[in-house]
Structure 1
Amino acid sequence: IVVVENVQRHMVEECCSSKEAAKRAMGEVTAPVIAIVLVLCAVFVPVGFLGGITGQLYKQFAITIAVAVTISGFVALTLSPALCALLLTPGQQEELRGGFWRLFNRVFEWTRLRYTDIVQSVIKRATLALAIVGVVVLVALWLLQSLPRSFLPEEDQGYFITMVQLPDGASKQRTTEVVSKLEQYYLSVPELHSTDVLVGQNFVFGTRGSNTATVFTPLHLWDQRKRPDQHVKALIGAAFKEFAKIPEALILAFNAPSIRGLGATGGFSVQIQDPSGGDFKKFAAVTQEFITKARQDPAIGAIGTPFRVSSPRLYANVNRDRAKALGVPISEVFDTLQAYWGNLYINDFVKFGRVYRVQTESEPQYRSAPGDIAKIYVRAQNGQGSSMIPLDTVVTTEYTSGPDPVTHFLGYNTALALGAAAPGASSGQAIEALDRAAREVLVPKGYALDWSGISYQERQVGNQSVVAFTFGLLMVFLVLAAQYESWTVPFAVILAVPFGVFGALSAVWFRGMTNDIYFQIGLVTLIGLSAKNAILLVDFSNHRYQAGMPAVEAAIEAAKLRFRPIIMTSMAFILGVMPMVLATGAGAASRRSIGTGVFGGMLAATFLAIFFVPLFFVLIRKFSHRITKRPTPTPPVEPAESEPKEEYQHV
């Protein structure tokens, strides 16, 4: 767009051939095109050094944008001028002077003149203009602090997961009855396609038992669920109201994770730790106190844990003194218990190209009651030889209760808790609420809180995006400093970036979205996109200034001649991201997040920053002149130059 527009301008204003116009145009726009390509590529260089899931997401965008921009720049410098020389002919614009196009050109020309008038006024009222810039920066900082933080937006993956947990020791029949009630409700919801039930397996918490079940609920296709109340988050919220009507069990519904592999569900996952390895009953009581405290926070929509100490179990007590007196090795006792009542690994063997594992376990009828332990024998060694004695000779059993399951995290006894943020709250707000609850309940009693799954990744992100944004700005500055061979001129370009950030934050705030990883990727992209418009203005102004034109007149001339390509390129990009802003269906949340930020940022960079970039150039040139004490460049003395000066002042 920049090349073609400049070629067409030379053909119209100078009445030259297309080939000559292409040569003159490339002499003017080669440097800014190269600068734009280098800036858009360099801004993503630092993100290549980020680790974790954040680095992986940044790298995907970095590679895509860098390759696309490089190819685009190569085409703009080679193929575009050649095509202009071949396809454009003088007088083509005369064919479009009637009807709509004449009205459009008149309106556009009027807009350009008003724009240059405003730029001239902004330069004259520099103090007021800088005050407005300060207000924009302060508002951007306020929006950055007030926007709720999150890691990944909640995606509608087309299904959600429900966990059912009955009291410890509940039979499979009771679990099936509860699941049947749940299925009846789900099948009455028109947005739900079907239900897939797994009784005896808790897919969410990774436990097994007759008192637990998992329900997978596929939804109808996205084009059949276009209303907000048909989104998966709305359906989960409605389901929780129905769960209250089934008091027999703890029922929790979770959205699927936004990225597969980051946990079993969406939402948050925390590990409540007992560093001291103390009593399980006390640990369970503190865990329930923490869960109760967390539920009282408005940022927490749902939270639950499978950790209980009331699970019935059979405790085997080995009489070690009697076993030693009878000559029964303790290892034989434990191996026998494992081989008959648990499972004992023997070996692996290969058959028909597949590996099979050999494990021993007693038949169900021989391990269905505690008294069956008397039917198993162990070998006793004594002075008179060896003999087989019943296992109940050295082992007694008793019914008791205890934790099920006993899980460990980083070597500590731990209780896993899963949940989701309340509607209207972000995952970052939920994590902050959990931290507050932990400081009030867990820390004073010697317990701790740690993170796993997607919550661990969110905590790891921390200030990585701030580092990426800062180093992105640094890379842009260094590239422009090398391009212009100046340490001051690049600041005229860099100062346009806050306007893009302001527009991005305003757009996200207006739509009620969160500051997530995709929005932050869009902010890094906006560094290059905001600099693109500023480069077109600053490069032309700098050339005119070095040729001897005063800084003010050079900036106004650049604003006048570069207004059309800036509007054309920016509007092409803004309209190009509109489908992302209005995205629906699978992956819509991530596309809306990055699209909304870039859309708002480009609007501000296009229709707000271009009024201030000429002012930045003038102020920086005056500042540089004062610091270096160099004389102001003067134009060559030619009589013909007097009339254009009057024209510049008039504009």
Structure 2
Amino acid sequence: KGADSSAGAVANRIIGGLSGVRDAFIFALSPPPIPELGRGTGFSFRLQDRGGNGHNALLAARNQLLGMAAQSPILAGVRPEGLEDAPQVMLDIDRDKAQALGVTFDAINTAISTSLGSSYVNDFPNAGRLQRVVVQADAKDRMQPDDLLRLNALNIQGQPVPLSSFATTKWVTGPMQTLRYNGYPAMSISGDAKPGYSTGDALAEMERLAGQLPTGFAFEWTGQSREEQLSGGTMGVLMAFSLLAIFLALAALYESWTIPVSVLLVVPFGILGAVLAALMRGYPNDVYFKIGLVTIIGLAAKNAVLIIEFAKDLQAQGKSPMDAAIEAAHLRFRPIIMTSLAFILGVLPLVIAGGAGSASQRAIGTGVMGGMITA
């Protein structure tokens, strides 16, 4: 099987073949590797009208954003959610005429809802069973827009007044559903990242494209995309707490504030190796790579602890700090190499993993291996 037989290629051919259907938006999407866990590369986006520009302007801005997203090399399958605008019948009520005839809006609403919808009256016994009494206009009398005008509403004197005496109907195009998000009129958009790009790249690209929309339009993330945005800035805090935990543990172990600092000096080399390895293989700075960075902090500190332990004992025997450090490095060089090689070979299956879920395994394995090599 070649590239033309991949799931993405098949989905693109299906979309192209069904793009001529004018009555629907049709998208072919690959299912997630693990059902019920959502789409790993998808995003949920809400375009908001914060400037009060109106529905038509919001629709135009959405279509403009979809057009720009279709030309993006990072985004794939960007599509609107919900129902599109459709023809509707608008009942235009002349308030002055209705008031002159003594017809209230409550009476108009009751007449329309009862005739076109239904209205529950009561229950009555029939053959030992209770049956519901529901009032509704006959089907043939509620099929056309003009049937609205033939309905009667009771005025304040209790006399029936036809709606045609104070109302008219006309066809308009309008939204089939209205959506508000955080108090603003909004439209839902979802999409995916193209192969080779992370969800973070897709979110950043959507933000860049949304910034090109006219004034008065903004956006919000929802679902997993919102959670990803909120958690994106916590990595620095997590790294800081990891270093602090290691520092305090070493300070309690050696009863010194300076020895933990010398142990942690090796951590930047491990992080540098992880970053270089990820860049060489073209992996993004995603959550899996960050997990590998946290792992590298502990593994890199472990190698330094092996040297510090021996150097501390040699210094207690009367040697200078420099001589103790050099001799400890010579003595522990082979054990450090052996343990590092064992760990590197242990994560090698992650680096070359394939199949479902292999992207996360390769991202973690590559960062950890690169960090161990340099640390």
| Length-normalised TM-score, structure 2 | 0.81
Q: Quote the residue 2:190 is aligned against.
A: 418
1:316 aligns with 2:91: yes
230 and 505 in structure 1: CA distance in 2 versus 1, 3 angstrom threshold: farther
**Are 1:501 and 2:271 counterparts?**
yes
In structure 1, which of residues 430, 437, 455 is the aligned counterpart of residue 202 of structure 2?
Answer: 430
Q: Could you tell me whether the CA contact under 8 Å between 2:33 and 2:356 is conserved in 1?
A: no
Distance 1:336 1:554, change over 3 A: farther
Q: Partner of 2:105 in structure 1?
A: 330
Note closer, same or farther for the CA distance 1:331–1:569 as it changes in structure 2 (3 Å cut).
Answer: farther
Alignment partner of 1:460 out of 212, 230, 235:
230
Tell me the residue number matched to 1:271.
46
- CA–CA distance in 2 between the matches of 1:589 and 1:333? 61
C-alpha change, 1:425 and 1:588, in structure 2 (3 Å) is closer
Going from structure 1 to structure 2, the CA distance change for 1:286 and 1:302 (only over 3 Å counts) comes to same
Of 371-380 and 396-405, more deviation after overlay is shown by 371-380
**Counterpart residue type for residue 104 of structure 2:** P
Shift of residue 313 of structure 1? Answer: 1.0
Cα distance between partner residues in 1 of 2:327 and 2:269 = 22
Is 1:240 matched up with 2:12?
A: yes
Deviations 1:81-108 (A, max 9, x none): xxxxxxxxxxxxxxxxxxxxxxxxxxxx
2:176 partner SS: coil
Letter in 2 for 1:526: I
Change (3 A) 1:265 1:547: closer
SS in 2 for 1:440: coil
> Cα 1:540–1:282, aligned 2, differ >3 Å: closer, same or farther?
same
Q: Does 1:286 align with 2:45?
A: no
Is 1:387 paired with 2:159? yes
> Deviation of residue 469 (structure 1)?
0.9
1:370 and 2:140 are equivalent in the alignment:
no
For the residues of structure 1 that align with 2:114 and 2:291, how far apart are their CA atoms? 55
Number of residue pairs matched by the alignment? 362
Distance 1:468 1:258, change over 3 A: farther
Aligned to 2:284: 514
* Alignment-derived partner of residue 129 in structure 2: none
| Secondary structure in 2 matching 1:316 | strand
What is the rounded CA distance, in whole Å, between the counterparts of 1:587 and 1:361 in structure 2?
Answer: 56
Kindly report which structure 2 residues correspond to 1:123-162, keeping only aligned pairs within 5 A, or say none. Answer: none
Change (3 A) 1:260 1:461: farther
CA-based RMSD? 3.5
Deviations 1:436-495 (A, max 9, x none): 3222223xx322122223322232223211221122112212221222222221122112
Q: 1:558 aligns with which of 310, 314, 328?
A: 328
Residue 441 (structure 1) aligns with: 213
Q: Decide which of 174, 177, 185 is 1:405's aligned counterpart.
A: 177
- Counterparts of 1:41-440 in structure 2 under 5 Å? 229=3, 234-249=6-21, 250-256=25-31, 266-305=41-80, 310-341=85-116, 367-373=142-148, 376-382=151-157, 386-440=158-212
The equivalent of 1:188 in structure 2 is none
Structure number with larger C-alpha Rg? 1
Aligned equivalents of 2:34 and 2:181: distance in 1?
23
Question: How far, CA to CA, are the matches of 2:249 and 2:31 in structure 1?
Answer: 43
**What residue in structure 2 maps to residue 469 of structure 1?**
239
Give the 3-state SS of the residue equivalent to 2:90 in structure 1.
Answer: strand
Matches of 1:359 and 1:410 in 2, distance apart?
Answer: 38
d(CA) in 1 for partners of 2:257 and 2:315?
A: 16
SS in 2 for 1:252: coil
- Against the structure 1 CA distance between its residues 501 and 318, is the aligned structure 2 distance closer, same or farther, given a 3 Å change threshold? same
Assess, with a 3 A threshold, how the Cα gap between structure 1 residues 359 and 504 changes in structure 2: closer, same or farther: farther
**Deviation of the 1:540 alpha carbon:** 1.7
1:598 aligned onto 2:368 = yes
Change (3 A) 1:590 1:423: closer
Would the aligned equivalents of 1:284 and 1:307 in 2 still touch at CA under 8 Å? no
CA offsets 1:209-256 (integer angstroms, 9 cap, x no match): xxxxxxxxxxxxxxxxxx89499xx41244224423434234333445
Q: 1:303: how far off?
A: 2.1
Deviation at 1:402, TM superposition (A): 1.3
Structure (1 or 2) with the greater helix fraction:
1
- The answer (yes or no) to whether the contact 1:508–1:514 under 8 Å persists in 2 is yes
SS class of match (2:168): strand
Alpha carbons of structure 1 residues 587 and 338: separation in structure 2 relative to 1, 3 Å? farther
- Residues 366 and 571 of structure 1: is their aligned pair in 2 closer, same or farther, counting only changes over 3 Å? farther
Q: TM-score, normalised to structure 1's length? A: 0.49
1:488 aligns with 2:263: no
The alignment status of 1:532 with 2:290, answered yes or no, reads: no
Distance 1:545 1:408 in 2: 70
- The structure-2 alpha-carbon separation of the partners of 1:562 and 1:228, relative to structure 1 and needing over 3 Å to count, comes to farther
Question: Which amino acid in structure 1 is aligned with residue 209 of structure 2?
Answer: A
Alpha-carbon distance in structure 1 between the residues aligned to 2:199 and 2:93: 49
Aligned to 1:34: none
Are the aligned partners of 1:307 and 1:403 in contact in 2 as well (CA < 8 Å)? no
Give, in whole Å, the separation in 2 of the partners of 1:527 and 1:361. Answer: 72
Structure 2: segments with no counterpart, 5+ residues: 122-132
1:299–1:433 CA contact under 8 A, matched in 2: yes
- 1:410, distance to aligned residue in structure 2 (A): 1.0
